[in-house]
Structure 1
Amino acid sequence: MTFSRRSFLAGSSALALTSAPIIGRAQGSDKIIFASILDLSGGLDIYGTAMADATSLAIDDINAAGGLLGREVELKMYDAQSTIQFYTQYATQAAAGDRAATVHGGITSASREAIRPTLARFKTLYFYNTQYEGGVCDFNNFNTGSTPAQTVAKVVPYAMNKWGKKAYIIAADYNYGQIIAQWVERFVKENGGETLEVEFFPLDVTNFGPTINKIQQAKPDLVFSGLVGGAHVSFYRQYAAAGMNAEIPIASTTFGIGNEHKLISAEEGNGLLAAYSYFEGVQNPENEAFLARMDAKFGDNRATMNELTVRSYEGAMLWAEAVKMAGSIEHAEVTAALKSGLTYVGPSGPITIDPQTNHAIQNVVLGELQDQEFNIVESYEAQPPTDTQLVCDLVANPDQSVFYFENGLAAAGIE
């Protein structure tokens, strides 16, 4: 099923969507402002539109339960249009103009790094609800998405045990892809494997013919993909058209979080492996109720839920629980509540913030794609962000605002 911008606008309550700056909230307004900055158009809208869906449901649920501290929560939604400069512009607007109590946003690592320093400077509480490469150590930034130690460390040995030890890595050519490729190489080596080649691709590349030829010639046992965005979906179609998916299987650190498995045919995707904090097949009462509310709100326009969408919902709800615990929307009080061991149980299961890193301790599921659905084949409970724990200690040094992996793992002392 696809998501339409029209249905999003029609179905969202207490919502303002803009691709231009919003003037600050009216004087005397008693509403609590919750700002979201996502890509609702451009090449990254395959992620952002469904994340916006889930965010709007969270605000609906918060307000249906009476709001927070006796006040209504108002959602201000910004469309960054898959353009980094808009992220910086809208982060400033949300913090200084809207005086938002919290900002949830960013999809790529580049967009996160465009807004994270701005929000830290304004001390506007920032949630990044996207699975990523790890390494952010920021007093002001709470990361609910999964990190490589939680997911990539699971899918790499599983895939190697299933298919073989020789790997070929392809990834997007920016921070996430470059760093995730290093993590994959590390986990391949730790599990007794060999990386034959690593290739990177700009986000707008759609022709993968030369790379597919190189993979044929290299004869790896498997391919690890960290490709990102709508343009890169072309790889999976071209790979299958060349008959390669029947010869050399694929495991991915990104496939499915933009519902790419719904954009290609079953035959093109069958057998692909991925690990995240959530697939729709997770069995618990919270997920059943969540999916029912999404169906009721969006009907036939409801996208398939994945880690990014569910974490957008859960990140908002975790923030709301912290506000309730703190009895305040002030930065210091809400931060203390988040780091207190507060646990929110949502569609993906329990989420607790690790106070050392401001990252989530979370469940992880490993899925195999069959007939455009991920079937869960392994589950792992309460996985800590051990990769970021290697470099970050916000208990010992609480004022940090650093991205340790910005220049790669080796620069952070991780070989």
Structure 2
Amino acid sequence: MSLNRRNFLASTAALASASMLPRVALAADTIKLGSILDTSGIFDAYGKPMDMAMRLAVDEINAAGGLLGKQVEVTAYDTQSDMALYSQYGQQLTRQDQVDVVHGGILSASREAIRQTMRKTKTPYFYNVLYEGGVCDRNIFINGVTPAQQVEALVPYAMSKSGKKVYILAADYNYGQITARWIQKFVADNGGETVGVDFFPLDVSDFGSTIAKIQSAGPDLVIAPLVGGAHLSFFRQWAAAGMKDRIPLASTTLGVGNEHKVLTPEEGNGIMVAYNYSQELDTPANNAFKEKWAAAYGDSNLIHEIAVSNYQGVLTWAEAVRQAGSLDRDAVIAALETGLSIEGPAGKVTVDPKTHHAVLDVHIMEFANQGMKVIETLPQRQPIDTQAVCDLAANPGDNTQYEIQI
């Protein structure tokens, strides 16, 4: 979502003492995976399960013998939900810790705070979160859904359940602003009308005047790309005002951090979403994943959309290392660009060589008793929004986040 390494090991002179050689050998005996996430602070509900999922994937890889005959070692930093620390830790991972790959970032601002550092230091970077689309950079791989994969599926379903007049409430930063424009496009494409659009800073928690404004506008449907704990207040206040049963709700973000488990059934039931993952997916891969999670952590209720995306991102990178037979950046990227696929808890994950985004299953769902009931599965949806502006096969040197014209 959007709001918000190597080469430090100084070549000291030639090692004169043989006593230092074991340390040098030991450093080469592990593969270093770097992680930067908000595991405390206001976004920890997203970051903590992402960290747990990453460690679960690494433990599985190591239990199976590691990669290239080596164990994977995690170096992780907690940004405490402070964007400034992303830049600091990004440089530390690449220049001091000399990691072989980085998985990290939650808000788009955090991704952009570290992406250029990863590119300059030639450290492969995985951003495993749904976001607004448009990033075109051969050094990054993105495993979350984009608007063309998610919003294009959600809008017509939600309109078919409600009506043609839509009101949009969105977080006031890159992700919310761009996603609101995509919603407007798909509303119009499906014969609807957007009757209002409002944006809210992440710390806003009082939506009383907004609810009154929506009542005056009289929409058939409210779609809410709101983000974070403060914005969760909208859904509670909407239900408390008696509006939930009068005007249906849909969201492109609610539930990715298990917010539907915080809402009561009376507050959440019937809210419509579309994501790559639900705990309710009854598949062998998902059931096995939940069993592994429960064995490791005891409580599988913490699993959410972007935790699974992070898990799948680590497995995707690991498979690329296996296929490349090397940690060399260009070899790993070349392996990923073959259209590599893995089977994850959410289904098949395939790397799109043109954009380095993931081709993913998208599940249209409704909240029911603090769960996500799967209504329909749309298999292997392409990131066609980013494909419209990004072609890394033709332009491998591109380094742009495009604002896709809608």
2:269 aligned partner: 270
1:320-344 per-residue CA deviation (whole Å, 9 max, x = no partner) reads 0100000111100000001112210
**Post-superposition shift, 1:253?**
0.3
Read off the aligned partner of 1:375 and give its amino acid letter.
K
**Aligned equivalents of 2:43 and 2:119: distance in 1?**
25
Partner of 1:324: 322
Take 1:165 and 1:379, find their aligned partners in 2: how far apart are those partners? Answer: 23
After TM superposition, the structure 1 = structure 2 runs for residues 278-357 of structure 1, keeping only pairs within 5 Å, are 278-300=277-299, 302-357=300-355
Distance 1:208 1:42 in 2: 23
Amino acid at match of 1:378: E
Give percent identity, aligned residues only.
53
Q: Which residue of 1 aligns with 2:382?
A: 384
Who is 2:223 aligned against? 224
Q: Find the counterpart in structure 2 of residue 403 from structure 1.
A: 401
Q: Which has the larger radius of gyration?
A: 2
CA distance, structure 2, for counterparts of residue 341 and residue 152 of structure 1: 24
Work out whether residues 120 and 401 of structure 1, in 8 Å CA contact, stay in contact via their aligned partners in 2. no
Q: Root-mean-square deviation (CA), in Å?
A: 1.3
Instruction: Decide whether the 8 Å contact of 1:280 with 1:304 is kept in 2.
Output: no
- CA positional deviation for 1:27: 4.2
Distance 1:394 1:282 in 2: 33
1 CA distance for matches of 2:9 and 2:296? 29
Matching residue of 1:40? 39
Deviates more, 1:25-34 or 1:111-120: 25-34
3-state DSSP of counterpart to 2:280? coil
Q: What is the aligned partner in structure 2 of residue 72 from structure 1?
A: 71
1:61 aligned residue = 60
Deviations 1:74-106 (A, max 9, x none): 111111111111111111111111111110011
Asked if the contact 1:43–1:231 (Cα under 8 Å) also holds between the matched residues in 2, the reply is no
Q: Given residue 367 of structure 1, which amino acid in structure 2 is its aligned partner?
A: M
The answer to whether the Cα contact below 8 Å between 1:155 and 1:274 also exists between their aligned partners in 2 is: yes
Taking the aligned partners of 2:162 and 2:196, their CA distance within structure 1 comes to 17
1:239 is aligned to 238
* 1:54/1:309 contact within 8 Å kept: yes
The correspondence of residues 61-140 of structure 1 with structure 2, limited to 5 A, is 61-140=60-139
Q: For 1:232 and 1:36, locate their aligned partners in 2 and report how far apart those are by CA, in whole Å.
A: 27
CA distance in 2, matches of 1:97, 1:243: 55
2-structure distance, mates of 1:212, 1:24:
56
- Displacement, 1:24? 7.2
* 1:173-220 residue CA offsets vs partner (Å, 9 max, x unmatched): 110001000100110011111111111111111111111111111110
CA distance in 1, matches of 2:30, 2:38: 25
Q: Could you tell me which residue of structure 2 aligns to residue 248 of structure 1?
A: 247
Q: 2:172 — aligned with what? A: 173
Amino acid at match of 2:373: N
Q: Is the 8 A contact 2:257 2:305 kept in 1?
A: no
Which amino acid is 2:315 matched to?
M
Point out where structure 2 has 5 or more consecutive residues left out of the alignment: 1-7, 11-22
**How far off is 1:36 after superposition?**
0.8
Please report the TM-score for the alignment, with normalisation by the length of structure 2. 0.93
Does the 8 A contact of 2:272 with 2:367 survive in 1? yes
| Residues 398/247 of structure 1: CA separation in 2 closer, same or farther (3 Å cut) | same
Distance 1:266 1:24 in 2: 54
Measure, in 2, the Cα distance between the counterparts of 1:113 and 1:105.
11
SS in 2 for 1:253: coil
Q: Which residue of 1 aligns with 2:364?
A: 366
* TM-score normalised to structure 1 length: 0.91
**Partner of 1:192 in structure 2?**
191
Measured against aligned partners, the alpha-carbon deviations of 1:101-127 in whole angstroms (never above 9, x if no partner) come to 110011111111111111111111000
Deviation per CA, 1:364-391, whole angstroms, max 9, x where unpaired? 1010111111100010111110000010
Q: Distance in 1 between matches of 2:114 and 2:50?
A: 18
Contact kept? 2:49, 2:304, Cα under 8 Å: no
> 1:32 Cα shift?
0.8
SS of the aligned residue for 2:33 comes to: strand
Aligned AA (2:344): G
Q: Which runs of 5+ in 1 are unaligned?
A: 1-22
From the superposition, tell whether residues 172 and 186 of structure 1 become closer, same or farther in structure 2 (CA, over 3 Å): same
